[in-house]
Amino acid sequence: MIGIWTALAAAIGFGVTAALGKWFIPFLQRVKFGQTIREEGPKWHAGKSGTPTMGGIMFIIGIVAAVAVCLPIYYAFLRQNNSLQVAETWLMTVKVVGGLLMALAFGAVGFLDDYIKVVKKRNLGLRAWQKLILQFLVAGAYLVSVFLSGGTSQTMIPFAGMVDLGIAYWILSLFIIVGMVNAVNFTDGIDGLNGSVTFFYCIFFMLISSFLNMGGMSILAVASAGGCMGFLLWNFNPAKVFMGDTGSLFLGGMVCALAFGTDLPVLLFPLGIVYILEILSVVLQVSYFKLTHGKRLFKMSPIHHHFEMCGWGEMKICIVASAVTILMGIGCVFLVLLGCL
């Protein structure tokens, strides 16, 4: 029965997001919510200046609508048929709903950042320290809600089984969530990249959560995948709209919600390898620049811009990044099926 509700969630997430583009993009154009292109970016990106941003609101609405419709119906069906499965505990419900709320809160931080950039005309938006404080507060609130609902400090390690990390688990989780949210944010730099990578990330977590009999988490994952696909109709090169920090930080929150919600945060590293390479390239570039007093490790960071400078087209970068995510996802699914996770 999980298949029915996941199919419906995918359809709603996709349909609402895709349909919203018809009026929401012209609305963003009318209110002049256009993207300002950084001068230090690739020169050919200058033509994108003025493209509507904050389009992430489209898939946020689509995903919330899908979950709001399908999740209550799914739980009601299980109760009515006395088949409330072991995985659908109160803790799992908190992880599903709390995960969505965490993503929304991160999206709100991104909206504030976009608003300052676009409306207040302050190109850098929120200060770095302001953004980090808000992000740590959001991640901390999510982890506290999980802890108070019966969450433990145990986590699954491949081939080692469940390991109890004690208080270190919660501290590590806090930094991992904030780090991964920013990694997803860095992945948003060319048309279609973040949406396509996150689409496949969500598809594989939908499969994994289905195998683990976590229907609520599966609905959350596939609703997110549907929202990403609906947005890609408007965001593939040449993009008619950008997701902005509103969308990329929301997706970062969702990426973490799916991993922690299935008790498999370890999968953030293989399945989210593209996000990690993006933020790692920035860290390495800045560190190398400072250590060598002006030399660069990459032609430009994040690394998708390096590939652009090497002559790769935006579509090629999206295809390669998606292919890497698919390969990692297949490996993760096999680990789950084989009982290694």
Query: Residue 163 is inside which H or E element, if any?
Result: strand 161-164
Sign of the CA dihedral with 332 first, then 232, 314, and 278 last:
negative
DSSP three-state, residue 161: strand
Task: Output the pLDDT for position 5.
Answer: 83
Spatial neighbors of 47 by CB under 8 A, at least 6 apart, are none
DSSP three-state, residue 140: helix
Task: Output the pLDDT for position 43.
Answer: 58
Amino acid occupying residue 31: V
DSSP three-state, residue 311: coil
Structural Rg of the chain based on CA atoms: 20
> Closest by alpha carbon to 182, among 119, 251, 81, 117?
251
Query: Residue 155 is inside which H or E element, if any?
Result: strand 154-157
Please state, in angstroms and rounded to a whole number, the distance separating the CA atoms of residues 332 and 338: 10
Q: How many CA atoms lie within 13 A of 14 on its CB side?
A: 12
Mean pLDDT by 10 residues, the chain (341 residues): 84 98 94 68 62 95 97 87 67 96 98 86 77 97 96 84 91 98 95 97 97 94 98 94 96 98 95 98 95 92 94 95 98 89 71
Query: In whole angstroms, how far apart are CA 150 and each of 144, 145, 156?
Result: 10, 9, 17
Q: Backbone phi, then psi, for 340, in 5-degree steps? A: -80, -15
> Closest by alpha carbon to 273, among 195, 339, 180?
180
> Closest by alpha carbon to 191, among 60, 48, 309?
48
Do 33 and 118 form a contact (C-beta atoms < 8 A)? yes
Spatial neighbors of 270 by CB under 8 A, at least 6 apart, are 328, 331, 332
DSSP three-state, residue 151: coil
Task: Output the pLDDT for position 124.
Answer: 65
Task: Output the pLDDT for position 55.
Answer: 96
Q: Tell me the H-state helices in the chain.
A: 2-30, 56-80, 90-118, 128-148, 167-187, 193-211, 215-235, 244-261, 268-271, 273-291, 303-309, 314-337
Task: Output the pLDDT for position 122.
Answer: 61
Tokens representing 199?
Answer: 């689409």
Task: Output the pLDDT for position 160.
Answer: 75
DSSP three-state, residue 154: strand
